[in-house]
Amino acid sequence: MLMLSSSSTPASWFPNLRKLTWHADGTHIFAPFSRMALVPSMLVLHLEISSASDSTFLSVLSSLGTLCPYLQNVTMRIRHQSDDLKLLHQISPFIAWPISQLRYLHTLSIWDVGSEITEHVMKLQAMRSLSLDLKSSSAWDENPRFQFPGFDGLKWFSLSTQTIEHASNVFSSLEVLKSKQVKVDVMSQIHASTVISKFLAILKERYGHDKLEYFSLSMEYSRDIRIESGAFTPLYAFPNLTHLLIEGTGNISMSDKALCRLARARPKLQTLKIGSCVIFDSTIRVPTFHGLISLLWSCPALTLLALVIDTTKSDGIDLKCPGGGRCNKRLKFFSLGNSRIKHPVDAALIISGLSPYLKRVDLACWEKPPMNTTAQRKLDMGAMGDSQYDA
């Protein structure tokens, strides 16, 4: 510590440092170190904060734009156990100004630091990847009266909110959104099926073109909510989708015919996930092997699939040659969730015949909706490749 505060300490110990990953607690011990580590050569900074009790630490943060003017990739997070509004309000003013100074920034992951900085980020020509964590923000409880210019030229846009209504309000505030990849993560359950279709309608309205390639919507599973397949009709505006992941929501009711329409509208699909569980009753329609066959033929590029099906309805399907001589050679991963399976051997014969090159099959408790926790949902999405992909 004496060396850190000594007058003989060099201006920087790392004059050529390009990347720094730092779990900072904001105490006086780490402030001198940050002054030495934050150098003009820095291009990538990943910062996780759990405390901001020291004024020197906050002063260093406020100088980030001057100390590291060439930063291109910045990730700032509040450590989970310290995720409270008091800490956010304490740190945000010291983060907002330096972020506005970073002209070369192309990748940013941050919480809600205010509308002025958000609008500044929208104007950055270099910006390609933006992740906004708004779970602790109350600014989106109502539809804002102001309009942001939106994002033009993004490759990746990720949004985390507490409710899907908050997500709808965020998208409504944008004049336009142009991003090849969009991920929306909602922490709470929905209380009505109509909010899904409303949110997707807003997405369709705000989206500037049909170039969307990746769309992921994840939320807590609602056992008592039934969602008709028609709720996803706005997604038909995006025929170039290669990755479509719908997780949580509720019990998605989808017939073979509806599944075929979805597949034919998106022939380029490589990854498809439509829920991981349903409640099997007379009100919920679930695709059968017939729908699965049509899906595999309509989407020949499909490599990852998560779909709950009713395997008990296989009339007319030859167990020895279920595809009539055709098969999908690209499918490598198939998650059946809590699919209804009465004859496991027959189901295995059909699946292996349709996709002979499968490397992994996941199956939950048959016909029983699991206790879907946030941790399990994140694990499921991770298995399906829920991250930025190489485009």
Q: Which two tokens stand for residue 237?
A: 């505006």
Helices 289-298, 256-265: axis angle to 10 degrees equals 10
Would you say residue 123 lies in a domain?
no
Query: Taking every pair of C-alpha atoms in the chain, what is the biggest distance, in angstroms?
Result: 85
Q: Which two tokens stand for residue 316?
A: 């007319």
pLDDT greater at residue 152 or residue 285:
285
Q: What is the pLDDT of residues 61-73, one digit of tens each?
A: 888 999 999 999 9
Query: Same structural domain for residues 203 and 79?
Result: no
CA distance 213 to 209: 11
Would you say residue 59 lies in a domain?
yes
Q: Which two tokens stand for residue 193?
A: 């099926």
CA distance 214 to 340: 29
Mean pLDDT of 275-281: 83
Query: Same structural domain for residues 151 and 95?
Result: no
Query: Same structural domain for residues 19 and 151?
Result: no
171: pLDDT strictly greater than 90: yes
9: pLDDT strictly greater than 60: no
Query: Same structural domain for residues 89 and 132?
Result: no
Q: What is the pLDDT of residues 100-127, one digit of tens each?
A: 889 999 999 998 877 777 888 888 888 9
Task: Report yes or no on whether pTM surpasses 0.75.
Answer: yes
Q: How far apart are the first and last CA of the chain?
A: 47
CA distance 319 to 149: 56
Which of 10-19, 190-199, 285-294, 366-375 has the largest mean confidence?
A: 285-294
- In angstroms, the Cα distances linking 356 to 120, 231, 309, 332, 361 are 51, 33, 19, 9, 12
Contact 76, 47 (CB under 8 A): yes
- Report pLDDT for 70: 96
Name the domain boundary from 69, 90, 115: 115
Kindly report the backbone phi and psi dihedral angles of residue 262, in degrees, each rounded to the nearest multiple of 5, phi listed first.
-60, -45
Helix (H, G, I), strand (E, B) or coil at 42: coil
Amino acid residing at 151: F
> Residue 310 has what DSSP assignment?
B
Share of the chain above pLDDT 90, in %: 43
Helix (H, G, I), strand (E, B) or coil at 337: coil
pLDDT band at 2 (very low <50, low <70, confident <90, very high): very low
Query: Same structural domain for residues 101 and 140?
Result: no
Name the domain boundary from 63, 87, 115: 115
CA distance 15 to 380: 42
For the chain, give the mean pLDDT: 83
Mean pLDDT of 268-286: 89
Would you say residue 122 lies in a domain?
no
Residue 295's contacts (CB-CB under 8 Å, 6 or more residues apart) are 259, 260, 263, 272, 287, 302, 305, 307
CATH of the domain at 169: 3.80.10
Query: Same structural domain for residues 280 and 168?
Result: yes
Mean pLDDT of 378-390: 51
Helix (H, G, I), strand (E, B) or coil at 123: helix
Token match 């599944």: residue? 259
pLDDT band at 96 (very low <50, low <70, confident <90, very high): confident
CA distance 193 to 171: 19
Mean pLDDT of 17-28: 77
- In angstroms, the Cα distances linking 250 to 169, 219, 272 are 21, 9, 17
Which of 16-20, 97-101, 109-113 has the largest mean confidence?
A: 16-20
Would you say residue 175 lies in a domain?
yes
CA dihedral 203, 191, 382, 199 (to 10 degrees): 0
Query: Same structural domain for residues 229 and 337?
Result: yes
- Count of domains for the chain: 2
Which of 192-196, 234-238, 298-302 has the largest mean confidence?
A: 298-302
240: pLDDT strictly greater than 90: yes
Query: Same structural domain for residues 227 and 165?
Result: yes
4: pLDDT strictly greater than 70: no
CA distance 112 to 118: 8
- Report pLDDT for 331: 97
Would you say residue 326 lies in a domain?
yes
Contact 37, 4 (CB under 8 A): no
CA distance 288 to 311: 6
Element containing residue 93 per DSSP (H, E): helix 85-101
pLDDT band at 23 (very low <50, low <70, confident <90, very high): confident
Helix (H, G, I), strand (E, B) or coil at 102: coil
pLDDT band at 388 (very low <50, low <70, confident <90, very high): low
Q: Which domain holds residue 56?
A: 14-115
- Report pLDDT for 8: 40
211: pLDDT strictly greater than 50: yes
208: pLDDT strictly greater than 70: no
Would you say residue 276 lies in a domain?
yes
Query: Same structural domain for residues 178 and 305?
Result: yes
Taking the CA of residue 300 as centre, how many other CA atoms within 13 Å lie in the half-sphere pointing to its CB?
Answer: 2
E-strand ranges in 163-258 read 177-186, 214-218, 226-228, 243-247, 251-253
Query: Same structural domain for residues 187 and 229?
Result: yes
* Lowest mean pLDDT across 198-202, 258-262, 278-282, 368-372: 368-372
Name the domain boundary from 115, 150, 179: 115
Contact 196, 249 (CB under 8 A): yes
Query: Same structural domain for residues 358 and 325?
Result: yes
Would you say residue 390 lies in a domain?
no
- In angstroms, the Cα distances linking 298 to 156, 265, 292, 315 are 27, 9, 10, 21
Query: Same structural domain for residues 68 and 146?
Result: no
Would you say residue 281 lies in a domain?
yes
The DSSP annotation for 154-181 comes to EEEEEEEESSHHHHHHHHHTBS-EEEEE
